[in-house]
């Protein structure tokens, strides 16, 4: 077990270092960096020497290799450099925006899981075949909805027409209702599809037939025998939706005016603020790696078959 | 004679999608065909311009004269949706082309090669996978600058790692089959085996995948132009139209609703067709 654990952690760190290197090469080595964009405007009247001094203060002088290690060690210390556009440390920006996005992501994730379960169980257990078929087709439909359009439609109907949820002057939690709905539907859709597939697959196994032959009802079998076996693998893919959660945050925070990572990202791209974008990329890569590592480590505790595999592999 | 009969049945089977045939599939194919026509000759659908409007007719509700209403500058929303189709759809095709051309090729070669090459290449792909698709696209866009073309390439690069992953899985499965070993045994080189045995056997799943990715590419491209990184303002582009309509939500719901509905319908239709292709391949029925 221990070497397995160690190897997983090592692998996770390697991926993170790789992601950093990749984003560094992509964002920093390419020509046309943010400092040039912001300060080379002739109207500012800066001499090349002054620009060089600015570069120095941003840590953007020296060779590429020196910059690479400068940025890497900085990030390890929680120092993500300066936002060239806003003139403040990126870590300051992150401190105010991260909690908003984390709250939004957590809400949306929970709601998405609930939606997925509701759709999958109803599509399995409802009495009429046509109802089941309609529900089974629902995830494909939900997955095709453009998040930004859906968010706008929500504002239009729930807020302007029906006046159920305020968008202007809403409290911190009230303000989360519509964005959560907007993100969770398209994310819940693929999850529902996976869970539905799992339920079908488990229901076709011989042991389910045995349980049924012994006289158990369809619903009892579903909830006591099929569901427990189907939900575990379903939860493990939850890590994969993280990226979509973040993508959804970029769009919905822009629509709903939430001051989170998503809006920060949107502004960073518009203003070619590379340091901010790289910080966001690294945070999301770290979250992705961490979620997957946790799943890898926790899964054997629940599923003895995986545990054995881990042993034999190590 | 028998071979001929089988061929005819196969062809007939493709058109009726035997085993998976359904009204929704027919509607999906008809819808995509109509869109293709929209892209090729938009003037067939509307006599209004997609760019110029009559200021006197601004913000009119949908009517017989203006099917989808008009926007704040008096431009016909239906005409803009029609002219926008070519921009949005060709961008999506370019995106899938880039993603599949580069990502698919990487996956195919890695999966077919196996061993250390596969391990190293897929390690790099895993690293790219740890960055969410949208952020990958944005990282490209922040450097390349904005515009439809750049947005399309950025979406393609965003899709690249996951496409490489899927195609590699197929190539790997086929590499393990006996006839591939036999082909090598018969003196086949790596290139010839990939070209004549591995690639042809991946084609159906690649076709299904590319149609599916086409639908996600449409959503991603309109997302990027919604955020303001795609087509510049006067151009008719669905994402941009939705963004424009945002300021008129309370008074002119039609401005953002119709382009959004179009994006939704295209994505749905493409999803349905992709499903039919893969269901035919695996020989199983499907749910939706």
Q: Count of alpha carbons within 13 Å of B39, Cβ hemisphere only?
A: 15
Q: Which residue has the tokens 């086409």?
A: B214
Could you tell me if A167 lies within 8 Å of chain B, comparing CB atoms? no
Instruction: Give A75 to chain B, closest Cα distance, Å.
Output: 17
pLDDT at A165 over 50: yes
pTM for this model (two decimals): 0.80
Q: CA dist A54 to A40, A79, A87, B254, Å?
A: 11, 18, 12, 49
Cβ distance B203 to B146 under 8 Å?
no
Three-state SS annotation for B59-99: CCCCCCCCCCCECCCCCEHHHHHHHHHHHHHHHHHHHHHHH
Cβ distance A241 to A191 under 8 Å?
yes
A244 chain-B contacts, CB cut-off 8 A: 132
Contact at CB, B215 and A153, closer than 8 angstroms: no
Q: How many CB atoms are located within 10 Å of the residue A295 CB?
A: 15
Sign of the torsion angle spanned by Cα atoms B195, B197, B202, B207: positive
pLDDT at A66 over 90: no
How far is it, in rounded angstroms, from Cα B235 to Cα B233?
Answer: 5
Short-list A112, A115, A86, A114, CA closest to A259: A86
Average pLDDT across chain A, whole number: 78
Tens-digit pLDDT profile for residues B111-120: 888 888 888 9
Q: Can you tell me the ipTM of this complex? A: 0.79
B219 chain-A contacts, CB cut-off 8 A: 144, 146-147
B260 chain-A contacts, CB cut-off 8 A: 146, 149-150, 152-153
Instruction: Extract the tokens encoding B241.
Output: 């139209």
The residue of chain A nearest to residue B134, with distances taken between CA atoms, is A247
Q: What is the pLDDT at residue A169? A: 64
Among B130, B224, B250, the strongest candidate for a mutation testing the A interface, having the largest count of A CBs within 10 A, is: B130
For chain B (288 residues), the mean pLDDT of every run of 10, in chain order, is: 49 50 81 85 73 69 71 77 85 92 90 86 88 88 84 91 89 85 82 83 84 86 84 79 78 81 86 80 47
Sign of the torsion angle spanned by Cα atoms B166, B172, B178, B183: positive
**Cβ partners under 8 Å of residue A272, min gap 6:** A32, A34, A37, A85, B142
Q: Which residue has the tokens 């545990």?
A: A307
Instruction: Give B249 to chain A, closest Cα distance, Å.
Output: 6
How far is it, in rounded angstroms, from Cα B103 to Cα B216?
Answer: 16
Tens-digit pLDDT profile for residues B188-247: 788 888 888 888 888 888 888 888 888 888 888 888 888 888 777 777 888 888 888 777
Instruction: Give B57 to chain A, closest Cα distance, Å.
Output: 23
Q: Count of alpha carbons within 13 Å of B76, Cβ hemisphere only?
A: 15
How far is it, in rounded angstroms, from Cα A31 to Cα A191?
Answer: 40
Q: What is the pLDDT at residue A31? A: 53
Contact at CB, B226 and A251, closer than 8 angstroms: yes
């Amino acid at each position: 077990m221990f070497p397995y654990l160690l190897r997983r952690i090592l692998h996770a760190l390697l991926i993170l270092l790789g992601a950093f290197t990749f984003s560094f090469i992509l964002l920093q080595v390419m020509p046309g960096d943010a400092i040039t964009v912001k300060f080379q405007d002739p109207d500012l009247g800066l001499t090349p020497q002054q620009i060089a001094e600015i570069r120095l203060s941003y840590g953007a002088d020296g060779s590429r290799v020196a910059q690479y290690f400068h940025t890497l060690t900085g990030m390890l210390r929680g120092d993500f450099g300066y936002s060239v556009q806003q003139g403040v440390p990126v870590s300051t920006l992150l401190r105010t925006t991260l909690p908003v996005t984390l709250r939004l992501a957590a809400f949306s994730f929970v709601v998405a899981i609930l939606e997925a379960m509701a759709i999958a169980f109803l599509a399995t257990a409802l009495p009429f075949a046509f109802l089941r078929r309609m529900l089974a087709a629902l995830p494909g439909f939900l997955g095709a909805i453009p998040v930004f359009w859906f968010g706008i439609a929500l504002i239009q109907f729930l807020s302007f027409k029906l006046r159920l949820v305020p968008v202007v002057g809403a409290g911190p939690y009230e303000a989360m209702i519509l964005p959560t709905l907007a993100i969770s539907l398209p994310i819940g859709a693929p999850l529902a599809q996976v869970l539905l597939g799992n339920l079908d697959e488990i229901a076709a196994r011989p042991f389910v037939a045995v349980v049924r032959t012994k006289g158990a009802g369809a619903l009892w079998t579903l909830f006591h025998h099929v569901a427990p076996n189907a939900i575990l693998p379903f939860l493990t893919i939850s890590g994969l939706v993280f990226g979509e959660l973040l993508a959804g945050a970029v769009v919905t925070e822009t629509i709903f005016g939430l001051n989170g990572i998503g809006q920060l990202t949107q502004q960073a791209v518009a203003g070619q603020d590379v340091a901010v974008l790289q910080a966001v990329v690294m945070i999301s890569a770290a979250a992705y790696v961490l979620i997957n590592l946790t799943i890898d480590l926790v899964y054997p505790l629940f599923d003895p078959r995986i545990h054995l595999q881990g042993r034999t592999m190590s | 004679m028998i071979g001929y009969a089988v061929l005819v049945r196969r062809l007939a089977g493709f058109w009726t999608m035997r085993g998976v045939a359904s009204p929704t599939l027919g509607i999906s194919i008809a819808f995509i065909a109509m869109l293709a026509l929209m892209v090729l000759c938009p003037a067939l659908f509307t006599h209004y311009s997609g760019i110029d409007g009559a200021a006197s007719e601004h913000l009119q509700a949908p009517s017989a004269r203006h099917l989808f209403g008009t926007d704040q500058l008096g431009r016909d929303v239906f005409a803009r949706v029609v002219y926008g189709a070519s921009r949005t759809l060709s961008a999506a095709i370019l995106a899938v082309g880039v993603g599949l051309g580069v990502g698919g090729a990487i996956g195919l070669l890695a999966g077919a090669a196996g061993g250390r090459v596969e391990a190293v290449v897929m390690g790099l792909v895993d690293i790219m996978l740890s960055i969410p698709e949208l952020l990958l696209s944005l990282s490209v866009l922040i450097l390349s600058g904005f515009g439809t073309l750049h947005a399309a390439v950025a979406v393609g690069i965003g899709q690249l790692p996951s496409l490489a992953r899927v195609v590699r899985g197929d190539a790997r499965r086929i590499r393990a089959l006996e006839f591939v070993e036999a082909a090598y045994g018969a003196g086949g080189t790596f290139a010839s085996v990939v070209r004549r045995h591995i690639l042809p056997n991946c084609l159906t799943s690649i076709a299904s995948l590319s149609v599916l990715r086409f639908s996600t590419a449409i959503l991603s491209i309109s997302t990027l132009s919604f955020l303001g990184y795609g087509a510049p303002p006067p151009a008719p582009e669905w994402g941009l139209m939705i963004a424009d309509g945002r300021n008129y939500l309370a008074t002119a719901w039609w401005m953002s609703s119709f382009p959004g509905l179009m994006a939704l319908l295209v994505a749905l239709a493409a999803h349905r067709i992709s499903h039919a292709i893969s269901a035919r391949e695996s020989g199983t029925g499907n749910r939706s």
